[in-house]
Amino acid sequence: MLNVEEFSISTLNCLKKVTGDSPVILHEPEFSGNEWKYLKECLDTGFVSSVGKFVDRFEADLAAYTGSKYAVAVVNGTSALHIALKLAGVLPGDEVLIPSLTFVATANAVSYCGAIPHFVESESVHLGIDPLPLREYLKSITEIRNGQTINRETNRVIRAIVPMHTFGHPVLINEISAVAKDYHLALVEDAAESLGSYYYGKHTGTFGQFGVLSFNGNKTITTGGGGAILTQDENMAKHAKHITTTAKIPHRWEYVHDEIAYNYRMPNINAALGCAQLEQLPSFLESKRSLFKKYKEALETVSGVSLMEEPKNCKSNYWLQTLILSEDFQSARDSILKVTNDNGIMTRPCWRLLHTLSPFQNCPKMELPIALSLEQRLINIPSSPSLVS
Q: Does residue 42 sit within a domain? A: yes
Residue 177 and residue 259 in one domain: yes
Question: Positive or negative CA dihedral for 52, 53, 55, 56?
Answer: positive
Contact indicator for 15, 298 with CB cutoff of 8 Å: yes
Q: Does residue 360 sit within a domain? A: no
For residue 179, the SS3 value is: helix
pLDDT in tens, 61-80: 999 999 999 999 999 999 99
Query: Structural domain of residue 129, as residue ranges?
Result: 35-279
Q: Does residue 373 sit within a domain? A: no
Q: Is the pLDDT at 389 greater than 90, yes or no?
A: no
Helix ranges restricted to H, the chain: 4-19, 35-45, 53-66, 77-87, 104-112, 131-141, 173-182, 234-243, 268-299, 333-342, 369-377
- Predicted structure pTM score: 0.96
Residue 70 and residue 200 in one domain: yes
> What amino acid is encoded at 49 in this protein?
S
Residue whose C-alpha is closest to residue 351's, from 84, 110, 167: 167
Residue 249 and residue 306 in one domain: no
Q: Does residue 175 sit within a domain? A: yes
51: confidence class by pLDDT, cuts 50, 70, 90: confident
Task: Assign residue 119 the CATH number of its domain.
Answer: 3.40.640.10
Q: Does residue 139 sit within a domain? A: yes
Residue ending a domain, among 217, 252, 279, is: 279
pLDDT in tens, 136-159: 999 999 999 999 999 999 999 999
Question: How many domains in the chain?
Answer: 2
Residue ending a domain, among 235, 263, 279, is: 279
Residue 176 and residue 80 in one domain: yes
